[in-house]
Structure formats: structure tokens, C-alpha cells
Amino acid sequence: MKSVIGLEIHTQLSTKTKAFCSCKNEVDAEPNTNICPVCTGQPGALPVLNDEVVEYAIRAAAALNCEIHEVSSFDRKNYFYPDLPKGYQITQYFHPIATNGYIVLDNGKKIRIRRIHIEEDAGKMFHSSETITQATSSLVDLNRCGIPLIEIVTEPDMEKPEEAREFMEKLRDILRTIGVSTGNMEEGALRCDANVSVHDDKRSSSRVEVKNINSFKFVQKALEYEIKRITKAMEAGENVPQETRGWDSSTKSTVSMRSKEAENDYRYFPEPDLPVLVVSKERIERIKKSLPELPDEKSKRYVEKLGVKEENAKILSKEPELSEYFEEVVKAGVSAKDASNWIVNEVLGLFNADGLEFKGEKVPIKHLKKIIEYTNTSKISRLAAKEVLAEVYKSGKDPDEIVKERNLLQVSNEDELIAVVKEVIEENPDTVQKYKNGKTSVVGFFVGGVMKKTKGKADPKVVGKLVKQLLDGES
């Protein structure tokens, strides 16, 4: 059995004001404070398109390799729901602003984007129970109502749930890099509906739409669950109806929301309150030229020009803040190899352990540079370096101060170390015998013993040399 997956993605654009009125684009303000006659659907209020929305939509379309249309138009999608004050959503149904784009996955597969269009978000509802049908009362917050969205519709080009997840992650990285959206799925700034069907040579299932997927992990999980469910039903000879299902992250399963027959007839028609949207060729070109380097290009440059390991390059190029940080560290004189290794393995490790997003100011570049230098010149051991870095991350203290306070300077002076090495050798006559019998790997054991006695301050290279000298000298 093979599966076919297509995605419909909604992205909130982080413009200053809403799409069709001048209310602030701020979802988490006190409920119903960022509202006006327009976004609450008062009689006589009219929409006026916010030009920043056009700018952001074109930027996204350009970054996603789309054909951008000089003429597009708005339409109304009509349905009743308490979070939709006008009884219709303004969208672009007949003539979207962009079509025919794509994102390339790491395996080289091109996932085509059918269209991108501009639309407005609805309000937010709070029910006294789980759903509106069970609720005895519901509250509506219209702060979110009218916030600009772009909807991105892919072709059904994905075959595996992990491809869908990778697509979503790549999309998020691009949107964040070009600065049009926070791309945060958990907060609803990026939402994904997945369409999936399963087929083999003989049979093919209906298309099932899965909604309410609110994290990157769940994109994969929900699709895996759904494909399994459909496959099982097909193998049992059951009918798979075309329907919309909702992902329930608490039970890790999907439940039926509505059948195809119960779908709304949205009665789309051209929005008479808004003139056609015309953008000049020059404007489109200007926006295309102003795009920053995108994650994939950046990653490629890191590998080819800077010699960064591919897996590190990928991580570093995802987030603009991270890649800028990396480039600053390199600019400060650290080799790209050291910088990338340290940032990916050590610095990011600290943020990940706390479940936090990377913030450059928590590890000042000059501090990180010092730590790397001290390690390379054996001024401190690698172990000590990690300790210093963790302390910088925690308190922001200068590494010199930390090294001094904790007495972490590495001892590489042979005269200072030779006594300890002798001590360790004398304490372990059995192991000395093993060495004499030809088992040279026990050198490490003696080095470890010295490191322990010096609380990690000894330079292991120097210690190793001394151990060999003494053992060989005795024979």
C-alpha cells in the first residue's frame, strides 16, 4: 500500500495591523480589545486592504519559488459561525496572488505548491465544554478576527508522513528567515490540515482530511495513525468514506468530524467591497531581490565555503538568529569548524536541556570565543570548558573569572605532574605488570588516575607522555 499526502497550511502574517482594518495584530491582548467596527462586522463597515499584507504574501510566495500574479482578487467564503462576525471570510478563491511554487526536501524530492492566497483569520471561541454542541455557553474573542493569513496548498506530492513533517519544518524555517511569520505551530501561527489517501495497484481509498494538527511531531504522528487506520479498513474490505477527521493529541488518534455530504456550500463570489489587487512587475522584482539568503542556500554555503559538517550546517541555517550568531563567532576569529561544533554540540545543548529557544545574548560571542581558545591552547581542559560554558549560560560571568574562581587552569608543567604520575604507578603494581606483559592500552588507566587526583586539571597529553616515559624507563 502506498499513501498520497497533500497539505493545506495556514500561516498568520506578523504584520503590525490586521488585514482589513487598522486594529493591532496582537492575538494575546486582553480579549476583545483589538477590535473595531470593521473586524466585528458592524453594519456599514467596509474592509480596506493593508498593504503590508501584500508585501508579506509576495515575500513568502517569492521564497517558495511561486509565480506571483500582477492581478489577483478577493472573494467571499460564506458560512455561519459565531467566530466569523460578517458571516463570510474574505479570501482569494478565484484568482490567488501566487501559484506554482515548490520546496525541495533533503532527499532531493520536489514538493510542489499549487497556490498561495491571502485571507483573514476568524475569532477564537471558548466553550463551557469540549465542543460547541455540548457547551451550555460559549465566549468569543475577536482579537484574532481579521489577522492576515496566507494559505499554502501543496500538490499531493508527499508519500510518507516524515516527508510531510520535513516539508512543514522547512516551510517554518523559510517563513521565519524571511520574517513574515513566527511559524509557531503550538500557538496557532502555523496550522496544517493534511489530506491523505491510500492505494495499491488495485484499489484506492477516498481522500480523508485531518485537521487540528498543532505540532510538527503530530504532523507525522497523525498521518501515521491515519494511514494505518485506512490501510486496515481497506484490508478488511471496509469502505473508507471521504470525510474530515480531527487529530486528538491526548488519545493520539483521529476522530470523525463531518462527512463529505455535511460539507458547507460556501457560495464563493467576488468580494464587491475590494477592488482587484494589482501589483507591479517592479514591485515583485524589488521584493524578490530583497529576500535574505534562505536556509538551504545558507546551509550549502556553510558546507562548501566554510567547510562546516553538513548536519551542523543544516541546524545552523534554520534560524536567522542562530545563523547570524554563528557567522558573528566566525567573524570574531574562531574557525568555522570549531564555531559550528561548539554551537551545535555545546551551546544548543544548554538551550535544549532547558527547553528554550536559542537566544544569542545568553552566551556572549566574546565569552564563547575565549572558551574555545582556552581549550585549543590547553589552558583549560575540555571538561572544564564545558563547565565554564554552562556557567556563562547561567550567570553571564566572564570565563576568566569562572576559571579563576574554580581553579580550572590546566596543569601541563611536567615537574608539577611527575610526582602524581609516580604516585599512581606505585599504587597499581598489578597494572604495571600488565603493561610490562605487553598490554600498552593500560596507559589510559594511569592517565585517568592522574586526572582524578588532579581534579581534571592535568593536561592529559602531558600525563600520557610522562606515564609512558616512567613505565618504559622502569623496564
Partner 1 sequence: MISDMTVEELMESVKKGKMKSDEIVDYFKKRSEELDKKLSAYISKCEIKENEGGLNGIPFAVKDNMQLEGTKTTCASKILENYGSTYTATAVKRLLNEGAVALAKTNMDEFAMGSSTEFSAFFPTKNPWDLGRVPGGSSGGSAAAVAAGMVPFALGSDTGGSIRQPASFCGIVGYKPSYGLVSRYGLAAFASSMDQIGPLAKSVRDAALITEIMAGKDPKDATTVDKKIDLLKGVENSIEGMRMAIPKEFLKDLSPDVKMVFQEAIEKFEKMGTKIEEVSIPSLKYAVSVYYIIAPAEASSNLSRYDGIRYGLRIEEDTIDGIYNQTRNKGFGREVKRRIMLGTFTLSATYYDAYFDKAQKVRTLIKREMDEVLSSHDAILGPTTPNVAFKFGELSSPLDYYLQDIYTIPANLAGLPAMSLPMGFVNNMPIGLQIMTKRFEDAKMMRIARSYEKARGKFPMPKLNGGDER
Among 30, 44, 236, 251, binds partner 1 (CB under 8 A): 44
Dist. CA 154–CA 242, nearest whole Å:
19
- Tell me the Ramachandran region of residue 357: left when phi exceeds 0, alpha when psi lies from -120 to 50, beta otherwise: beta
Residue with smaller CB distance to partner 1, 126 or 269: 269
Site for partner 1 contains 31 (CB under 8 A):
no
Dist. CA 224–CA 156, nearest whole Å:
16
Dist. CA 18–CA 90, nearest whole Å:
13
Query: Which residue, among 234, 210, 236, has the nearest Cα to 224 in the 3D structure?
Result: 210
Site for partner 1 contains 133 (CB under 8 A):
yes
Q: Write the binding mask 275 to 304 for partner 1: x where contact by CB under 8 A, - elsewhere.
A: x-----------------------------
The minimum distance between CB 195 and partner 1, in angstroms, equals 19
The minimum distance between CB 274 and partner 1, in angstroms, equals 5
Residue with smaller CB distance to partner 1, 268 or 358: 268
Q: Which of the 8 DSSP states describes residue 192?
A: E
Q: Which stretch binds partner 1 (CB under 8 A): 5-13, 83-91, 249-257, 423-431?
A: 83-91
Site for partner 1 contains 262 (CB under 8 A):
no
Q: Which stretch binds partner 1 (CB under 8 A): 36-44, 60-68, 208-216, 223-231?
A: 36-44
The label of the residue with cell 455540548 reads: 134
Q: Give strand pairing partners of 411.
A: 458
Among 18, 59, 69, 76, binds partner 1 (CB under 8 A): 76
Residue with smaller CB distance to partner 1, 79 or 404: 79
Asked if 378 and 459 touch (Cβ cutoff 8 Å), the reply is yes
Among 130, 265, 282, 426, binds partner 1 (CB under 8 A): 265
Q: Which residues of 317-336 are buried (b: 16+ CB within 10 A; e: fewer)?
A: bbbbebbebbbebbeeebeb
Site for partner 1 contains 48 (CB under 8 A):
yes
The minimum distance between CB 265 and partner 1, in angstroms, equals 5
Q: What are phi and psi of 263, to 5 degrees?
A: -65, 145
Count CB neighbours of 282 within 10 A: 8
Q: Is 35 exposed, middle or buried (0-12, 13-18, 19+ CB in 10 A)?
A: buried
The label of the residue with cell 475590494 reads: 274
* Binding residues for partner 1 restricted to 138-157, rule: CB under 8 A: 138, 140
Count CB neighbours of 136 within 10 A: 7
Residue with smaller CB distance to partner 1, 91 or 215: 91
Site for partner 1 contains 267 (CB under 8 A):
yes
Residue with smaller CB distance to partner 1, 265 or 426: 265
Among 80, 107, 407, 441, binds partner 1 (CB under 8 A): 80
The minimum distance between CB 77 and partner 1, in angstroms, equals 10
In angstroms, how far is the first alpha carbon of the chain from the final one? 70
Site for partner 1 contains 170 (CB under 8 A):
no
Residue with smaller CB distance to partner 1, 36 or 409: 36
Residue 93's contacts (CB-CB under 8 Å, 6 or more residues apart) are 75, 77, 117, 268
Chain residues binding partner 1 by CB under 8 A are 37, 40-49, 76, 78, 80, 82, 85-88, 132-133, 138, 140, 265, 267-269, 272-275
